[in-house]
Structure 1
Amino acid sequence: MKKLLICFAILFGFTSSSLSQLDHTAYAQQKPTPSYAKWSKIAIAKTKEKYPNAQVVDYLYVGRTNGPRTSTEKFKLWLKENQKEFGVYVDIEFTKETEQVVNVTYTETAR
Structure 2
Amino acid sequence: MKILKFPFINILLVGLFLMQINIPIHAEAEGLPSYVKWGRIAMTKAQEKYPNSEVTDYLHVGKEDKKGTSVEKFKLIVKNDQKEIGVFVNLTFDTRTERLLSVDMEETKP
Is TM > 0.5 for Structure 1 vs Structure 2? Answer: yes
Deviation readout 1:40-60 (Å, 9 max, x if unpaired): 111111111111011111001
Unaligned runs of 5+ in 2: 1-19
Corresponding residue of 2:77 = 78
Corresponding residue of 1:34 = 33
Instruction: For 1:90-109, list aligned pairs within 5 A.
Output: 90-109=89-108
Aligned length: 88
Q: 1:49 aligned to 2:71? A: no
TM-score, normalised via structure 1 length: 0.71
Classify the secondary structure of the residue corresponding to 1:63.
strand
Classify the secondary structure of the residue corresponding to 2:41.
helix
Deviation readout 1:80-102 (Å, 9 max, x if unpaired): 10021110000000001111111
Classify the secondary structure of the residue corresponding to 2:105.
strand
CA RMSD of superposed structures (Å): 2.1
Letter in 2 for 1:39: W
Unaligned runs of 5+ in 1: 1-20
Letter in 1 for 2:66: G
CA distance in 1, matches of 2:44, 2:35: 14
Identical residues among aligned pairs (%): 49
Quote how far apart the aligned CAs of 1:37 are.
Answer: 1.0
CA distance in 1, matches of 2:41, 2:83: 24
